[in-house]
Structure 1
Amino acid sequence: MKNLKYFILITFISTSFFSCDDDFLDTVPNDRISSELFWQTDQDAVFAANAVYPFLLQDAFSFTMWDAMSDIGHVTLQWRDESLVEKGAHNSSNGKVASEWAFAYRGIQAANIFMGNVEKMTPQDPALIERLKAEVKVIRAYSYIRLAILYGDVPLVDHELTLEESRELTRTPVEQVWDFISDELTASAVKLPKVQSDKGRITKGAALALKARAMLYAGRYTEAALAAKEVMDLQVYSLNASYKDLFSYQAQNTTEIILDRQFAKNVNNNNIFNLTTPNSIWPQVNQFVPRKRAVDVYQMANGKDITDPTSGFDPYNPYINRDPRLGYTIYTLGDTLLNGTIYNPKPTSGTGDAIGSSENSTFSGFNVKKYLNPEDMAQPTNCGINIILLRYAEVLLTYAEAKIEANDIDQSVLDAINEVRQRPDVNMPPITVMGGQEELREIVRKERTVELAFEGLRYFDIRRWRVAENLTGIIRGMTYENNSGELVTIALTGFDIAFDKERDYLWPIPNDERVLNPNLTQNPGW
């Protein structure tokens, strides 16, 4: 999948049709692929399905921004649209709000174009065509998951729209959208193989794992647990032995990866290194950084929270004897950077990472490690690393959370959580006490936070948990010892996080969409 070129979609979407009484004008255009020539062979269908895959991910920037807008991250540049979302100052004309809607519906339209045209073919290999249709339906469902969690009621479209139809659309109740997602993913899973020889293609496990995520988001916990259990029972997936290496080139396509967006240097690249690297390595480009809240949630290596007086936490040495995932995920004071220098973000350090030294230097004293690889240092905008969209650890935690929320608590809940906690290079103490629903809910939510940090999920978690209004106020960064021996905690003054619980759990319907189609009603408060 890495080396396939995604030009087919543009050509068959943009094909124009002309008619004229003069025969000499009635010719096949030679600057594009005409639909009259395309859709003839099974290989055409393969190319067309491949062209829908990019709609799994808009770009590396949009991927990084989800956690940047959550309580564990911060958008570096305060003039960005995402920064306005972060502090609750966005509106229906916000660029992020508009682009996510538009990208999702472009993907849905591309999928619908594929489905409408492939049905007209006479395939040489009907099983292949059925598999491709299932793959494309999963991608379409993926777009609807994002739309439903962000906007609530959205137009549900399952066929190629004409311009006139698009102006008459109305919003479908979100519960019907979740029904559609569930049905599509269930039916697609039947048509998909457990393993695809072409790495990067959607599998049975991807369809079921997405269903588990979707039903968790929808609050349909029994369905979510059942779908997650189906993935577990496939016996195809397992945790990578090393969490540290999980986001490296060496770990691509391992058994933990269920769904990713495939990239390749020089062919179909991304710029995730450029977006997240510390300022001292690649100056003036960093887009987001972790906050103190992200660092503090990692337990001590003995399994106790750092707020526990018996944990052994030392505020003068705050990163010692912590959950190893902290060191694998976030750059903290004293770490060794990829170029061999020591990470020193203290305001008086004089390094490129010193807090306040430039617009793109970390405000918090932290930087993200995930997806930063030495192979990309020479060309930070030409990365070939695959971006993981769904991995087996999430499925295990989805299973545990869904069972807890359904109050169907048994040993399998602890087993799933502990499997994640006891990955060989993490090896955190297992959860042994079968607590009640409230206690286990807190445990699994903490585990999701540390295991899946900066993988684009936290923003959606705090919204579906309905806790976002409790995570507001001043953004804080690292605590460090100043030259006088005093402990000082960085605070970003003048930038307060705000969240209106009566309004902000749904994004507004983009203003431009409502201008084009007045039938689209607006969400409350917008």
Structure 2
Amino acid sequence: MKNTSYKYLIALILAGGLSSCRKNLLDSVPNDRVSSNIFWKTESDALLADNALYTDLDGTNIFTWDALSDIAHTNQNFDTQAFIELGTYDIANAKIYNEWSAAYTGIQATNYFLENIDKVSSTNTTLINRFKGEAKVLRAYQYIKLAGFFGDVPLVTKTLTIAEGQQVTRTPVSQVWDFVDKELSDAAALLPASYAAADKGRITSGAAWALKARADLWAGRYQLAADAATQVKGYTLYSSYQNLFKYAAENNSEVILDKQFLKDSYSNGVFALLAPYSQKNAQSYYVPTKTLVDAYETSAGKNINDAGSGFDPYHPYDNRDPRLRFSVYVDGDILPSGIAFKPAPGSGTADAIGSTYIASTTGYNIKKYINTEDYANPSNSGINIILLRYAEVLLTLAEAKIELNQIDQSVYDAINTVRNGRSDVKLPNIPTGLTQEQLRQIVRHERTVELAFEGLHLFDIRRWKTAETVMTGPVYGITYADAGNKLVTVQVVSFNRVFDKSRHYLWPIPQKETNLNPNLKQNPNW
């Protein structure tokens, strides 16, 4: 699918262009679209339309969500998104509107697809049903996000006229979760477990079950989440965490759902977005925080503040959980250009804190997805963006069973597999005989460090109801030794996070939407 997903764009343009050659202008088909009178005829039409649905999956915007949590930060204080961190945003915030709009664009596309797919003349019911299953999963994906962001949202399952769109009301979030749960169960029955190489990247039955597990976990339906997680078959952890987000590992055994890109044809700008400023003026838009870096254990499996942990504040990145240096650029790391990353103030490098407003204000940069192959053209990356992988499923199973107090060996196995199931991540097993609360904290820790910068942590701190604690106060960065060998911790200048628990657990319904449709009642205290 990597090489074919977006060829539909060319096909549609050609179809429209050919129609303009007709002599009778009044009978011609508009050349900026494909008429439904000539489309929806063949299996090829269905394939092109199905491919188009994947373009509405999230890509590099997943990094923005983590930058609204405690583990990352929006690097430029004047960015619209930074106002959400500061707690000064309102119903007119562009970031909030864009997320709402993008999700419903995807929903509208899948609704239209499902209303028209049966017009296709085909005796291959397995293929048509597969297309339907893919569309159902893609629609459910959007609703999972919307429920996590906004709570009650309009549950729209058909294409709407403008007049109808101005009359819809918000559906209770419990009913949205009901819909998602059933939709994904139904889709799983229509989808194959795997595909041939030419169709790698398409949605499988495993993706439907894995998304169902995510949705049920977020909804607090822990038994359903655990049951769905056990249905995810045929996936394993990739052998190397360090290489998991590199080109050579694309479509590996751990990836369940991703957004597929292709350099030169359908690219993304992840390198330019996240890499340190010294790398051809990359933008460092979203940067890790001290909160995340300090969360990585030592190689002995201890918190850095525990007695006997082996942590050395003068060499803070030595003898740590390997996932730290695989996920975050820290002092001394070699960058794609071949130079060393030196972010300390006064280091004299382009990455020094304060050298420019674009350099990381915390002294850390995201390393996931930053590949040497993209250095020559940072805005033309073809790396796939992973949206769901098997490690998440294992941690979902563990968390759901912990919340149910169904603590058995499968809980320990799931967590320990994530901690030491790869050739380059070998942390000690967690001790046995732990209490429910102890295991709860461990699985939350593992989700935080294992899945950092994968777009999940914002939703986690909301459902755990910890945002009111972790999203307040200053943002801190690196701790470094100054000229007098005194340890100094960087604090982001003029930035103080605020989280109002009476309203910030849900985003407001965007003002543009409530202006068009007063039936969309606003969330509490907005």
The alignment's TM-score, normalised by the length of structure 2, stands at 0.95
Q: Which amino acid aligns with 2:524?
A: P
Given residue 316 of structure 2, which amino acid in structure 1 is its aligned partner?
Answer: P
CA distance in 1, matches of 2:300, 2:403: 27
Residue identity in the other structure for 2:392: E
Distance 1:196 1:465 in 2: 36
Q: 1: distance between equivalents of 2:86 and 2:429?
A: 37
1:84 corresponds to 2:87: no
User: 1:30 & 1:512 partners in 2: Cα distance?
Assistant: 31
Which one-letter code corresponds to 2:219 in the other structure?
A
Alignment of 1:427-446 (within 5 A): 427-446=426-445
Letter in 2 for 1:332: V
The alpha carbon displacement at 1:11 in A equals 6.2
1:40 alignment counterpart: 41
Return the offset for 1:493: 3.4
Opposite residue 49 of structure 2, the aligned amino acid is A
Taking only the aligned residue pairs, the percentage that are identical comes to 53
Shift of 1:7: 5.2
Matched, 1:267 2:265: yes
State the match for 1:117 in structure 2.
Answer: 116
3-state secondary structure, aligned to 2:49: helix
Aligned-residue Cα RMSD (Å) equals 1.6
Q: Hey, what's the Cα distance between the residues in 2 that align with 1:392 and 1:179?
A: 24
Residue number in structure 1 paired with 2:21? none
Q: What TM-score comes out, normalization by structure 1 length? A: 0.95
Q: Partner of 2:315: helix, strand, or coil?
A: coil
Superimposed CA distance per residue, residues 274-302 of structure 1 (whole angstroms, 9 cap, x where no aligned partner): 10101111225220110000100000100
Displacement of 1:436: 1.0
1:78 maps to a residue whose letter is: N
Deviation at 1:69, TM superposition (A): 1.2
2:495 maps to which residue? Answer: 495
- Residue 66 of structure 2 aligns with an amino acid whose one-letter code is D
After TM superposition, give the deviation of residue 506 of structure 1 in Å: 0.4
Query: 1:119 Cα shift?
Result: 2.4
Residue 515 of structure 1: aligned partner = 515
Partners of 1:102 and 1:368 in 2: CA distance: 27
Q: Write the letter of the residue equivalent to 1:159.
A: K
Q: 1:431 Cα deviation (Å)?
A: 1.1
Residue 66 (structure 1) shift: 1.0
Once the two structures are TM-superposed, the CA of residue 374 in structure 1 deviates from its matched residue by 0.7
Note the C-alpha offset of 1:2. Answer: 2.1
Within a 5 Å distance, the mapping from 1:34-73 to structure 2 comes to 34-57=35-58, 59-60=59-60, 62-73=61-72
Q: Is there any run of 5+ residues in structure 1 with no aligned partner, and where?
A: 16-22
Partners of 2:276 and 2:284 within 8 A in 1:
yes
SS of corresponding position for 1:474: strand
1:81 aligned counterpart, secondary structure: coil
- What's the CA shift for 1:25? 2.8
- 2:345 matched residue in structure 1: 347
Query: Comparing 176-185 with 471-480, which one deviates more in the overlay?
Result: 471-480
Question: What is the number of residues matched between the two proteins?
Answer: 512
Distance in 2 of aligned mates of 1:31 and 1:416: 51
Q: 1:470 to 1:24 in 2, by over 3 A?
A: closer
1 CA distance for matches of 2:144 and 2:368?
Answer: 25
User: What is the match of residue 312 of structure 1?
Assistant: 310
Alignment-derived partner of residue 369 in structure 1: 367
Aligned pair in 2 of structure 1 residues 408, 137: CA closer, same or farther (>3 Å)?
Answer: same
Q: Deviations over 1:319-369 (max 9, x none)?
A: 110011111111111222222211111111010000000011011111111
* Amino acid of the structure 2 residue aligned with 1:167: Q
1:417-428 correspondence runs (5 A) = 417-422=415-420, 423-428=422-427
SS at match of 1:112: helix
Cα deviation digits, residues 187-240 of structure 1 (max 9, x gap): 000111100220110000000000000001101011001101111xx2x11111
The aligned amino acid for 2:185 is: T
> Where do 5+ consecutive residues of structure 2 fail to align?
17-23
Report the Cα offset of residue 124 of structure 1.
3.0
3-state SS, counterpart of residue 390 of structure 1: strand
- Contact kept, 8 Å, 1:247 with 1:371, in 2: the verdict is yes
Post-superposition offset of 1:122: 3.1
Measure how far apart 1:312 and its partner are: 1.4
1:182 and 1:55 mapped to 2: Cα distance?
21
Report the equivalent of 1:144: 143
Check 1:27–1:282 CA distance in 2 against 1; reply closer, same or farther (3 A cut).
closer
Structure 1 segment 254-403 matched on structure 2, within 5 A? 254-283=252-281, 285-403=283-401
Q: CA deviation at 1:64?
A: 1.5
Paired letter, 2:56: F
Match in the other structure for 1:19: none
Letter in 2 for 1:336: I
Aligned to 1:18: none
- Paired with 1:371 and 1:27, the residues of 2 have a C-alpha distance of 46
Structure 2 equivalent of residue 168 of structure 1: 167
Deviates more, 1:337-346 or 1:254-263: 337-346
Structure 2: how far apart are the matches of 1:9 and 1:230? Answer: 38
Any idea what SS the aligned residue of 1:303 has?
A: coil
Bigger drift between 277-286 and 91-100 goes to: 277-286
Distance 1:52 1:362 in 2: 35
Cα distance, 1:376–1:8 mapped onto 2, change above 3 Å: closer
SS in 1 for 2:141: helix
Listed one character per residue, the Cα deviations across residues 21-50 of structure 1 (whole Å, up to 9, x for unaligned) are xx9734433453211000000110111011
Contact 1:8 1:48 in 2 (8 A): no
Q: Measure how far apart 1:6 and its partner are.
A: 6.0
> Secondary structure of the equivalent of 1:84?
helix
Shift of 1:77: 1.2
The match for 1:218 is: 219
Q: Secondary structure at the match of 1:289?
A: strand
CA contact (8 A) 1:289 1:367 kept: yes
